[in-house]
Structure 1
């Protein structure tokens, strides 16, 4: 197939799971013989813009007519079989969907978060779960300044959500939800169930796996409130007060809490903050882990680091909500702690480190779960299946209900409820 991938790349100053997923899918498709081209914008480019162009960026968030013209011309010239849309904020906008309609090319879209129902996409406000905007107008998000703590910054996102909701729902043949938990939220908010398919992200073979008991507990990700970084610090302090767990905590990443994490880790023997790791060092750190910890306080739509740990044969300790409850089998491939509770997180971290034999057993089970549900071969199969469904739907060969009729469920679900995915 000929595939055009549309993506606004996140800033390179901090890790982006979405950028990683896009790059890995492109590489996977090309290796399988498909032709894949890219239509991209980069948030890094905003810094080099003139002041007038910078000022125009928020105005164009809901709709960028220049992008529509450019992309439509490209589609008419190249005639791909399908367009795969990822992130369109802030430099692309939902105008990419109009371009696909202009050129008559079917579109699929991966929903990496909750921006279809929540302007910042996190379903969280002030460190707590929030669904005020789900299923209704996004005015609460503006009132509370949910994006970057700013009403002004939130307003373009809220406007885009309101103005383009129906365009998304009618202009995309297939939505890829990256977890069943995410799909449930979106269907409950009124999105067309028949177009929402569960397609977990895959993870490439890491090339290195754990061979011993491990050397550290690893946090690998963005240093942000929603990722549970403060919760982790509180839990680790609780463990340290009772004698520790015998291995240090390694924190790798960057983000808004970097200064706070640096100050907290300074002078401690049981914590090492190592900054950003490149891909090779991430894989090495994962393979040397006793466990990976993912204590997110927001409802993660997926949780890539947990699956990366599985690929390395390492159990994870994760919050017992969102996608984590379908990625991890509690007590088998890792442990789930009560969300937002430092004591519960501390207890799970102690349990996963105190018994090496049980830890090794969970690591083996985690690797098997990866092979059955998140390997490249599984990922390729689901991508190709989704593309074929979208192409058939646009050509009249699909099984979407006629306009106005109610859908009764997903058209394909990536073997929901089996080891192949949920």
Structure 2
């Protein structure tokens, strides 16, 4: 199969899980013998633009006509079987869909977040979940609240793009890959065409090493923001420490807006260590040394790579009991779920996960088994290629992209056809 991957790479200053997913899928497909080419833009390149060029970037967010022309010409020359779209913000824009239509090539798109229904893509505002824009025609609440980077002006291009390109997305993409059933439920409720939404969890490469023994630390690994639950974790840990502590250190690794606050909080403490930003090898080693990975996100995560990575290493997770985490973690079996936003509940789970090493090891074994069944590269490849074939068949079955007869992914979410298809 010949696949053209379309992706606007996020800034290298803030390591992106989405960039990693794209790179790992490309590598997986190529290793399986498929031809994969790339059509990319890089957010890093914005810094090298002239001042007028930088000023023009927001204008390209809703529509970049040059991208349409360039992509269509390349597609006519190379004739791939399918185009796989990932991120198009800020330099590519939904004009890539018009380029694919011009060349008559079917499109699949992975929805890594909620940008189809929420301009910043997080469903989170002011420290709490927010769905004000879900199901609306125009994303006016997001502009009113300045949801993107706390700025109304910066939010406008995203809100305009979401509003004017809604129908183009829904009609121009043969199949959408949702990375959790929770995400799919929300998108169907917003009005997106259910028959085009497939659930395809992200896969995680086997780390090559699993935890040995009981582990030596609790680990937070991710972006240091309030939405990721960092401040909640700090409050829960302080409560634990005041009550004698769990007897093991907490390690926080990552970067982000709260970096200085986290470093100051950890300074001078024996029970907390701020490790900064780990490279991929350091991440794998840190996970394998952990009693549990902590994922206390305040947002409804669409997936949760760090939890799947912990499962691959035979390490249970303590995660917020909402979003995709409830699909990844079976409470009390492969990890623990705490009440979202509740510091006392999180503290209780952290104490519980460290109190019984035998139960923890059993949770780790169960987590690894779940990884083998659902999140391994072999499973990821099968689901990815099957999704491509479904999209190609949908295009060949009619101009409206209707699924072929017998497709078990068609129909309302409650039919759970997508879940059966993907073996959830």
Q: TM-score, normalised by structure 2?
A: 0.96
Partner of 2:272: 271
* 1:136-170 deviation per Cα after TM superposition (whole angstroms, max 9, x unaligned): 02000000000000000000000000000000000
Partner of 2:217: 216
- In structure 2, the CA distance between the partners of 1:259 and 1:421, relative to structure 1 (3 Å rule), is farther
Moved more, 308-317 or 122-131: 122-131
Question: In the alignment, does 2:88 pair up with 1:85?
Answer: no
Partner of 1:180: 181
Partner of 2:124: 124
Partner of 1:293: 294
SS at match of 1:184: helix
After the TM superposition, which residues 134-173 of structure 1 pair with which residues of structure 2 at under 5 Å, given as runs? 134-136=134-136, 137-173=138-174
Question: In the alignment, does 2:202 pair up with 1:201?
Answer: yes
Q: CA deviation at 1:13?
A: 1.2
Q: CA deviation at 1:409?
A: 3.2
Aligned length: 417
Please tell me whether the aligned partners of residues 14 and 253 of structure 1 are also in contact (alpha carbons under 8 angstroms).
Answer: no
Moved more, 392-401 or 54-63: 392-401
Partner of 1:257: 258
- In structure 2, the CA distance between the partners of 1:413 and 1:394, relative to structure 1 (3 Å rule), is farther
Q: CA deviation at 1:214?
A: 0.6
2: CA distance, partners of 1:211 / 1:14: 31
One of 389, 392, 400 as aligned partner of 2:403: 400
2: CA distance, partners of 1:48 / 1:241: 50
* 1:342-361 deviation per Cα after TM superposition (whole angstroms, max 9, x unaligned): 00000000000011000000
Please tell me whether the aligned partners of residues 394 and 404 of structure 2 are also in contact (alpha carbons under 8 angstroms).
Answer: no
2: CA distance, partners of 1:339 / 1:102: 45
Partner of 2:24: 24
SS at match of 1:416: helix
2: CA distance, partners of 1:49 / 1:243: 54
Please tell me whether the aligned partners of residues 108 and 173 of structure 1 are also in contact (alpha carbons under 8 angstroms).
Answer: yes
Partner of 1:355: 356
2: CA distance, partners of 1:67 / 1:417: 38
2: CA distance, partners of 1:369 / 1:281: 24
Q: CA deviation at 1:401?
A: 8.3
2: CA distance, partners of 1:372 / 1:315: 16
2: CA distance, partners of 1:275 / 1:389: 43
Question: In the alignment, does 2:54 pair up with 1:51?
Answer: no
* 1:371-417 deviation per Cα after TM superposition (whole angstroms, max 9, x unaligned): 00100010000000000011111112775389xxxx6337x978726
Please tell me whether the aligned partners of residues 197 and 413 of structure 1 are also in contact (alpha carbons under 8 angstroms).
Answer: no
Please tell me whether the aligned partners of residues 85 and 110 of structure 1 are also in contact (alpha carbons under 8 angstroms).
Answer: yes
Partner of 1:416: 419
* 1:289-334 deviation per Cα after TM superposition (whole angstroms, max 9, x unaligned): 0000000001000011000000000000000000000111000000
1: CA distance, partners of 2:82 / 2:201: 20
Partner of 1:234: 235
Please tell me whether the aligned partners of residues 67 and 95 of structure 2 are also in contact (alpha carbons under 8 angstroms).
Answer: yes
Partner of 1:68: 68
5+ residue gaps, structure 1: none
Please tell me whether the aligned partners of residues 142 and 151 of structure 1 are also in contact (alpha carbons under 8 angstroms).
Answer: yes
SS at match of 2:165: helix
1: CA distance, partners of 2:84 / 2:258: 33
Partner of 1:3: 3
1: CA distance, partners of 2:244 / 2:275: 23
1: CA distance, partners of 2:200 / 2:416: 7
Please tell me whether the aligned partners of residues 319 and 325 of structure 2 are also in contact (alpha carbons under 8 angstroms).
Answer: yes
Moved more, 370-379 or 43-52: 43-52
2: CA distance, partners of 1:315 / 1:170: 41
2: CA distance, partners of 1:40 / 1:267: 44
Please tell me whether the aligned partners of residues 200 and 421 of structure 1 are also in contact (alpha carbons under 8 angstroms).
Answer: no
RMSD of equivalent CA atoms: 1.7
Question: In the alignment, does 2:18 pair up with 1:15?
Answer: no
Q: CA deviation at 1:15?
A: 2.2
Superposition misfits of 4+ residues, deviation over 2 angstroms:
397-402, 407-410, 412-415
Please tell me whether the aligned partners of residues 82 and 108 of structure 1 are also in contact (alpha carbons under 8 angstroms).
Answer: yes
